[in-house]
C-alpha cells in the first residue's frame, strides 16, 4: 500500500537553499519513496527560539510504501548527513525535515507524532502546503482557512519559485 505523505523542510544555517535542495535530492533517493510534488521556497521568521537567522521553508509531497517509523529513520539519516545538530530546541539548523501527515494515520509515540501536532498553527508550514494543493482539506481542515488564522502569516515571504522539474530537469 502506498501512502501520501507531506513533509516540511527548513534551514537557517549557511547555504540554506542548498541544504533544502540536498535534502530533497536525498529524499528522492530513498528506496520505495517517490517525490511527487514540492512547494516554492519561502523565507520566514524563526518561531520559538527567535535569536537566530531567518529560515527558508518548503513542503514536499511523497508517496511511499515504507512504514512511518522507517521513513522517520531515513529522514533523520538525511538530517545527520547534512550535519544537523540539536543543541537548542527550535534552534538554528542546517536542515529540519518533519513528517506532517502520513496518509490518514494517527501516531502518538515519544519520538513520532503524526499528524504533526503544531502544523495547523504555523504559517511557515501552511503557506508552502498551499502550493501543493490549493483549497484542499487536509485531515478535514481547510489549509487556506487555517493559514488565515495564523498570527505569523505576514512573515512568510516568497523567496524563490521552484518546481519538481527544476530538481530533475526532465519534465
**Which residue in 16, 84, 122, 131 is the catalytic one?**
84
**Which residue in 16, 54, 93, 118 is the catalytic one?**
93
89 is an active site residue: no
CB atoms within 10 A of CB 145: 12
**Which residue in 15, 16, 86, 96 is the catalytic one?**
96
Give how far the C-alpha of residue 170 lies from the chain's centroid of Cα atoms, to the nearest Å.
Answer: 23
Q: Are 24 and 57 in contact (CB under 8 A)?
A: no
**Which residue in 98, 104, 122, 166 is the catalytic one?**
98
84 is an active site residue: yes
Q: Are 38 and 163 in contact (CB under 8 A)?
A: yes
CA distance 76 to 25: 14
Q: Which residues pair with 4 in a beta bridge?
A: 63
CA distance 96 to 88: 13
106 is an active site residue: no
Active-site residues, by number, are: 84, 93, 96, 98
Amino acid at each position: 500500500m502506498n501512502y501520501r505523505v507531506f513533509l516540511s523542510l527548513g534551514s537557517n544555517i549557511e547555504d540554506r537553499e542548498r541544504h533544502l535542495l540536498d535534502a530533497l535530492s536525498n529524499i528522492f533517493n530513498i528506496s520505495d519513496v517517490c517525490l511527487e510534488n514540492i512547494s516554492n521556497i519561502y523565507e520566514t521568521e524563526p518561531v520559538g527560539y527567535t535569536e537566530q537567522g531567518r529560515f527558508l521553508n518548503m513542503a514536499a509531497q511523497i508517496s511511499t510504501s515504507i512504514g512511518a517509523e522507517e521513513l522517520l529513520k531515513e529522514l533523520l539519516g538525511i538530517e545527520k548527513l547534512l550535519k544537523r545538530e540539536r543543541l537548542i530546541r527550535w534552534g538554528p539548523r542546517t536542515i529540519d525535515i518533519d513528517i506532517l501527515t502520513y496518509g490518514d494515520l494517527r501516531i502518538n509515540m515519544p519520538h513520532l507524532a503524526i499528524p504533526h501536532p503544531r502544523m495547523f498553527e504555523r504559517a511557515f508550514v501552511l503557506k508552502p502546503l498551499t502550493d501543493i494543493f490549493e483549497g484542499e482539506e487536509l485531515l478535514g481542515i481547510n489549509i487556506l482557512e487555517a493559514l488565515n488564522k495564523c498570527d505569523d502569516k505576514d512573515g512568510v515571504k516568497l523567496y524563490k519559485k521552484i518546481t519538481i522539474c527544476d530538481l530533475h530537469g526532465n519534465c
